[in-house]
């Protein structure tokens, strides 16, 4: 069996062995969960949603926003210099959505009925809209990445068929993403009176969408930096600088909206109250908004070139900020209404860790065997016409 004319490779490293160990634990927990239900979780009537909804759904979807944003920047806005990141971004988004789908399935109490919404429409439900969009967008992402997969296993005709669909897929993908990224916020509009006013606003859908559009490229930047270190790629400066600026501008829009919303709703007082909610909100705003925007605008206004270090640092801050924001909505903001505390059980933790481990392993396998990253001269030079930048010798991850 060969891929792109090369033998299938998967180099074992200590890091990968750890991931495989986590994945095995994951398989065990999943089997147990599917048979025995949610008893292994620490979820209660007061906390019907916990770690799985936060990591596997809320955060997973937001961080996988890199797929539709970079595809949009490249194909729709025609910014050709980001070319090198588009395919890896679509790959991570595709894997991300597969993990989200699986994570959501694990969270469903009556998981065998996962297909019910397709036939029984709850059209007044944000959850219904979210379900439909995530389902369709996962299919769209599969089709977007299909050319690379089919080309790898030698089905050239199928590959070029899917490639010819690229434009409608990308545009449809952005439309679907717009709907469901904002829906993750709209979902909490119904919790008026329960969710703390620092987070409850009618602008939730716009805030969620704009932060996703900002954090998507930031996540791509983090992934590119990591992959670059492991696989020894060059730093694609024009592409990365563009993404950093994109995130900077979008995040500025978000920050203006977020702060003016807090001010107009008269929440500045409770923001500075220094109780748990206010401290968590301040932390979220400092890490996710103020710091990255300070760095971005101080470089921008002084006309300095953004260095790799600064770009990666800003991207990490944005990712942390969005994680804090989503976590605050799911946990901090709902704590008072719940009236009791929640901490995930070991099974919940290891299922989430295992799910991400499986994702990383599949990612590593695909980038090592398929044409995901552009070819680089300093990797194994082969006589083969098709570049194989991630041949075994290059992989250090």
Partner 1 sequence: MSKGVLVDMTKCFGCGACTVACKLWNEKKYDEVNKPTLGDKAQLVDINWTVVSKHDVTDTSGQAAWRFAKKQCLHCVDPACASSCLVGALRKTPEGPVVYHPDLCVGCRYCMVACPFNIPKYEWDKSFPKVSKCQMCSSRVAVGEQPACIAVCPNQVMTFGDRDQLVQEAHKRIEGNQQLYVNHVFGETEVGGTAWLYLSDQPFNRLGFKTAVPQESLPAFTWQILSKLPMILVGWTAILSGLYFFNKRRNAIAEGKQDSTGGPQS
DSSP reduced 3-state for 335: helix
Classify the C-alpha dihedral 126-130-133-135 as positive or negative: negative
Q: Residue 366 Cβ, how far from partner 1 at the closest point, in Å?
A: 15
Q: Which range in 11-19, 103-111, 135-143, 312-320 contacts partner 1 by CB under 8 A?
A: 103-111
169 binds partner 1 (CB under 8 A): no
Q: Which range in 162-170, 256-264, 283-291, 318-326 contacts partner 1 by CB under 8 A?
A: 162-170
Classify the C-alpha dihedral 280-283-284-290 as positive or negative: positive
Q: Measure the CA–CA gap between 313 and 24, rounded to whole angstroms.
A: 33
Residue number with CB closer to partner 1 (122 or 154): 122
Q: Residue 340 Cβ, how far from partner 1 at the closest point, in Å?
A: 11
Out of 121, 235, 297, 343, which residue is the one contacting partner 1 (CB under 8 A)?
121
Residue number with CB closer to partner 1 (1 or 45): 45
Q: What is the DSSP letter of 29?
A: H
| CA of residue 56 relative to chain centroid, distance | 10
Q: What is the DSSP letter of 379?
A: S
Q: Residue 84 Cβ, how far from partner 1 at the closest point, in Å?
A: 7
Beta carbons of 319 and 63 less than 8 angstroms apart: yes
114 binds partner 1 (CB under 8 A): yes
Residue with tokens 């400092």: 286
Out of 202, 263, 268, 375, which residue is the one contacting partner 1 (CB under 8 A)?
202
Out of 21, 46, 226, 256, which residue is the one contacting partner 1 (CB under 8 A)?
46
Classify the C-alpha dihedral 59-60-61-65 as positive or negative: positive
273 binds partner 1 (CB under 8 A): no
Q: Residue 93's closest CA among 316, 359, 325, 312?
A: 359
Provide the binding-site residues for partner 1, judged by CB under 8 A.
Answer: 35-39, 43-46, 48-49, 72, 74-78, 80, 83-84, 86-87, 107-114, 116-117, 120-122, 124-131, 147-148, 151, 163, 166-167, 170-172, 174-175, 178-179, 186-187, 189-194, 202, 205, 334, 337, 374
């Amino acid at each position: 069996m060969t891929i792109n004319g090369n033998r299938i490779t998967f180099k074992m490293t200590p890091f990968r062995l750890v991931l495989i160990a986590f994945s095995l634990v994951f398989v065990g927990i999943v089997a147990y969960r599917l048979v025995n239900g949610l008893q292994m979780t620490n979820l209660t009537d007061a906390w019907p949603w916990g770690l799985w909804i936060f990591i596997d759904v809320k955060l997973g979807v937001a961080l996988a926003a890199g797929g539709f944003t970079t595809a949009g920047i490249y194909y729709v806005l025609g910014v050709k210099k980001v070319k090198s990141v588009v395919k890896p971004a679509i790959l991570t988004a595709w894997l991300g959505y597969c993990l989200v789908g699986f994570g959501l399935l694990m969270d469903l109490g009556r998981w065998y009925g996962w297909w019910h919404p397709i036939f029984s429409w709850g059209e007044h439900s944000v959850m219904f809209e979210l379900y439909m969009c995530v389902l369709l967008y996962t299919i769209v992402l599969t089709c977007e990445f299909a050319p690379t997969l089919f080309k790898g296993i030698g089905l050239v005709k199928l590959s070029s068929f899917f490639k010819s669909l690229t434009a409608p897929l990308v545009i449809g993908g952005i439309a679907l993403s717009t709907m469901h990224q904002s829906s993750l916020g709209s979902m909490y509009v119904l919790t008026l009176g329960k969710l703390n006013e620092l987070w409850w606003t009618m602008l939730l859908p716009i805030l969620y969408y704009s932060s996703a559009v900002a954090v998507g490229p930031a996540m791509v930047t983090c992934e590119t930096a990591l992959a670059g270190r492991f696989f020894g790629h060059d730093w694609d400066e024009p592409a990365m600088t563009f993404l950093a600026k994109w995130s900077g501008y979008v995040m500025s829009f978000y920050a203006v909206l977020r702060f003016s919303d807090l001010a107009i709703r008269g929440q500045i007082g409770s923001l500075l109250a220094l109780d748990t909610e206010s401290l968590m909100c301040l932390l979220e705003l400092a890490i996710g908004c103020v710091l990255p925007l300070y760095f971005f605008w101080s470089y921008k206004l002084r006309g300095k070139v953004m260095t790799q270090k600064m770009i990666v640092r800003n991207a990490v801050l944005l990712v942390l900020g969005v994680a804090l924001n989503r976590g605050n909505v799911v946990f901090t903001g709902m704590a008072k209404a719940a009236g009791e505390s929640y901490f995930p059980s070991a099974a919940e933790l290891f299922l989430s860790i295992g799910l991400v481990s499986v994702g990383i392993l599949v990612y590593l396998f695909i980038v090592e065997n398929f044409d995901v990253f552009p070819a680089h001269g300093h990797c194994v030079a082969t006589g083969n016409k098709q570049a194989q930048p991630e041949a075994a010798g290059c992989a250090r991850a």
